[in-house]
Structure 1
Amino acid sequence: MFEQMSNKMKRIKPVFIIAIGVALASQININFFLPGFIVTLSIVILPVFLYFYKQFNPIEILFATGIISPIYRGMFLYFGTNNLHITIGIIGADVLFYFSYGILFYLLYWKKEKKGLTDLFFSAFLCDFFSNIIEISIMLRFRGYSYIMFQDLAIIAIVRAIITVCIILLLKYYKSLLIKEEHEERYRKLILMTSSMKSEIYFMNKNNSDIEGVMKKAYLLYKTISEQKYPTELKNLSLDIAKDVHEIKKDYISVIKGLEEMVGKKTDTTEADTVKMNIKDIVNIIKIDVLEYIKINKFNVYLEFKLEDNFNVVEHFYIVCILRNLIYNSIEAMEDIKNGHVKILIKKSEYDCIFVVTDNGKGIKEEDIEFIFNPGFSTKFNTQTGDICRGIGLAHVKGIINDVFVGTIEVQSTLGKGTEFTIKIKEDNMEGVSV
């Protein structure tokens, strides 16, 4: 019983909200023909409500509106004229207008199986025109008609119907823009998330080879100890180590497979993505992401992308990962700099695609440059906690450039002035052209 009442209230609530909205809009009006007969904004927005709330019977909406709106208007009329008889006469005609509008709209538009904006236009025009005739006829007591009156009512109805359709078209266009923007945002986040996951899978596969090597060494140690006269405890310990490494490898492989299923492609095979992505689109995705990062962290950094040439990229997820890593590193290197500047230049040179990421950050010490691409190396640490960054960003970058694209990366840096990374990848490798 309570559930039925709740469902009923959910249905009634929108009807009364529409009715109240129309009642408020009716206060924007002008007098026309004779005292008490007004042309209001409410008859412009009423068909808009009826169009977007197709699930509600227009008779229900208009009958609710025909009670709420005239009562609301009648209160102002009575306080203005202090004449109950005149007030009742005017709001009575108002009630008939809304009731007749609802019945006509139901018959002309709502009952149709197939209907569009053209049907809505003619329905809104006819409902407006004939309902106004009914209202003014009551107020004139069915006498005193003129051709000019019908002409003006027809013009008013046409104008209001045109405005109604224009409002609906604008709302639909605005809605489509919001949907498009939402889809683009979701697509951008999907690209960024997938690029991060694929780069992590790549690195995990490389680590998996190292784990395989450790496991072989562990079994070799167990075999060597077994053949020699070492204590049994040492023999068992070496066997346990070999078993533990094997279990770690199994778990590691399970994690990799799970991630590979999520991104929809195994990264440890020679299979390549066949879907190419334009570098211009890649740049747009990265730019939005980095600008948000700068804004959230309140960095004083100016980001500049210079795209001299355009080309397609097959392994676009990896390019996103590479550029994001380098740009983020550059931004972090300018944390205490007042006017940071990161420039990303993308161009072609003969058969190469070239990416240059330059910053005016604090630079890298000359003795550190040869180690920056080593896994685990990092000069960054949290001054509050003392935690050192894991230092696999640049190792990621170089590994992907070398293994996936068969390209090169070089770095030039001057302490206190800035750093420049230059990546060169053959155009055929970038676009996935078989040679």
Structure 2
Amino acid sequence: MIALIIVSDLLHLFEMTSSFFITLSVPVFLLFLLYFHFLSPVISGIAVGLAVFIFRTILSVIDQLPLMDALLFHAPVVVFFVVYGVLFWLFYLQRFYSNPVYIGIYAIILDTFASIAELAIRNSFSLIHPSFSLMTAVLFLAILRNFFVMGFFMLILYNKEQIKHEEKKKQSDHMFLLIADLYAESVQLKHSITKAEKITSNLYYLSKEIKEDVSPPLSKKILEMAGEVHDFKKDHQRIFASLAQIIKDQKKTEQLNICKILEIVIKSNKSYAAFLEKDLVISVTVANKKDIIHSFLSMSVLNNLIGNSIEAIEKRGHIDVTIENSDPAGFIHIQVTDNGPGIHEQNQSFIFSPGFTTKFNNEGRPSNGIGLSYIKHSLEKFNGSIKLVESKPNIRTCFSVILPREISLDPKEVY
């Protein structure tokens, strides 16, 4: 701070007399006090005043002015910065941080009174004789330089608010993606719970039949298995209840603008593509950009399909998302197309089956394969649908989705 103020002190805006200058050091000092709240205005005023005093004295001595005269000429500048710091502390300007107009008014008062204090000391040393024209000039220049300070400070505030806004938006988008993923998992989890209930019931009745007709020990073993599946189901129900509550708490984001949803999805998947070191172009075409649709299901569907395309494409390629949503009622039509390797004809009838996958990691382990099966399962619960339109290797692979506009957010209502 001191180094920058000393450099700015060399820039004289106006030389009132041979010993009284209007420089840029004061605006720089004000900006530091406003921006860095941890700085003590009084201590900073003393430190800056002494630094400027020593700096000006050295320059004057180099310029062949006797040391005592140089000390006398420049000593009053210490008074200026000390008075400025004390007044800043008394007015506590930082409380008006969000209102630059008030800061500007008080800064002019601080500047003017500090200048009057310096002029009073200079007058007592017989270095200057204050006059009405001099005081008018001091006030005018205080207004002028603080006007520029406030303009610069407002730019700083604006930039800071933009950064905060972007950070909040990033956090909000991240949370939104997380909730969409939780929504997808909750639907899949509920499906597993339902299956577990059926398995428990079947095992229970099987144990009764075996006990009566065949083998009581085997019946007992099957009954124990039914109990284990039942405990498994209860654990999943507790997890599902927690997920359902989280999703319920986010009900305010249930309906969102289609462009907002696409913005979040595309940004996320571009980052995913970059992480996989793939050069992909993702293009979007939307018929009605003002459309408001269900957020979590649509985002989950888009994320799964675009993510699958990204993983399928080897190094570089393009993904096209087309949304036909001109009709405000009923359903919207989504198409996701890529130029990846496609899906072999013998696999096309199995791609929506739970557990089916063509993706394997470096150790040869398959993925869980719930992506497309989840999408199909979720959409069909709301009378929607998904189908593979065509698959031409390295030319065009296209999935078509019919997505309902009105669905229930709470996964409890899905089954």
Quickly say closer, same or farther: Cα 1:190–1:112, change in 2 above 3 A. closer
What letter is aligned with 1:237? K
Residue of structure 1 equivalent to 2:204: 219
- Give the secondary-structure state (helix, strand or coil) at the position aligned to 1:362: coil
Structure 1 residue 376 displacement after superposition: 0.5
Residue of structure 2 equivalent to 1:421: 399
One of 113, 119, 122 as aligned partner of 2:105? 122
Q: Contact between 2:288 and 2:326, CA under 8 Å: does it hold in 1?
A: no
Q: Contact between 1:20 and 1:69, CA under 8 Å: does it hold in 2?
A: no
What letter is aligned with 1:127? L
One of 221, 226, 245 as aligned partner of 1:261? 245
Residue of structure 1 equivalent to 2:335: 356
In 2, Cα distance between the equivalents of 1:310 and 1:156? 52
In 2, Cα distance between the equivalents of 1:98 and 1:273? 53
Residue of structure 2 equivalent to 1:181: 166
Quickly say closer, same or farther: Cα 1:291–1:94, change in 2 above 3 A. same
Alignment of 1:340-351 (within 5 A): 340-348=317-325
What letter is aligned with 1:277? L
Q: What CA deviation, in whole Å up to 9, does each residue of 1:62-101 have, x standing for no partner?
A: 2332233323444454455474223312331211221232
Residue segments in structure 2 that go unaligned for 5+ positions in a row: 410-415
Q: Contact between 1:93 and 1:135, CA under 8 Å: does it hold in 2?
A: yes
- Give the secondary-structure state (helix, strand or coil) at the position aligned to 1:421: strand
Quickly say closer, same or farther: Cα 1:361–1:217, change in 2 above 3 A. same
Alignment of 1:224-373 (within 5 A): 224-230=209-215, 232=217, 234-264=218-248, 275-310=254-289, 312-313=291-292, 315-336=294-315, 338=316, 340-348=317-325, 352-373=331-352
In 2, Cα distance between the equivalents of 1:352 and 1:327? 20
Residue of structure 2 equivalent to 1:400: 378
Quickly say closer, same or farther: Cα 1:343–1:314, change in 2 above 3 A. closer
Matched, 1:205 2:190: yes
Quickly say closer, same or farther: Cα 1:229–1:390, change in 2 above 3 A. closer
Residue of structure 2 equivalent to 1:387: 365
TM-score by length of 1: 0.82
Q: How many residues align?
A: 403
Cα-Cα RMSD: 3.1
- Give the secondary-structure state (helix, strand or coil) at the position aligned to 2:349: helix
Q: Contact between 2:16 and 2:22, CA under 8 Å: does it hold in 1?
A: no
Matched, 1:190 2:190: no
Residue of structure 2 equivalent to 1:14: none
What letter is aligned with 1:216? S
Quickly say closer, same or farther: Cα 1:119–1:362, change in 2 above 3 A. closer
In 2, Cα distance between the equivalents of 1:69 and 1:397? 70
In 2, Cα distance between the equivalents of 1:311 and 1:236? 61
In 2, Cα distance between the equivalents of 1:215 and 1:71? 88
- Give the secondary-structure state (helix, strand or coil) at the position aligned to 1:285: helix
What letter is aligned with 2:23? T
Residue segments in structure 1 that go unaligned for 5+ positions in a row: 1-17, 267-271
Structure 1 residue 37 displacement after superposition: 3.5
Structure 1 residue 177 displacement after superposition: 1.2
Q: Contact between 2:391 and 2:398, CA under 8 Å: does it hold in 1?
A: yes
Q: Contact between 2:76 and 2:122, CA under 8 Å: does it hold in 1?
A: yes
Structure 1 residue 429 displacement after superposition: 6.1
Q: What CA deviation, in whole Å up to 9, does each residue of 1:316-369 have, x standing for no partner?
A: 101100001001111111124x4x010001113655411111111111111111
TM-score by length of 2: 0.86
Matched, 1:165 2:143: no
Q: What CA deviation, in whole Å up to 9, does each residue of 1:234-282 have, x standing for no partner?
A: 333222212211111111111211222232369xxxxx98942111111
Q: Contact between 2:343 and 2:391, CA under 8 Å: does it hold in 1?
A: yes
Range with bigger deviation, 27-36 or 246-255:
27-36
In 1, Cα distance between the equivalents of 2:93 and 2:300? 56
Matched, 1:110 2:92: yes
Structure 1 residue 105 displacement after superposition: 4.2
In 1, Cα distance between the equivalents of 2:331 and 2:56? 75
Range with bigger deviation, 53-62 or 365-374:
53-62
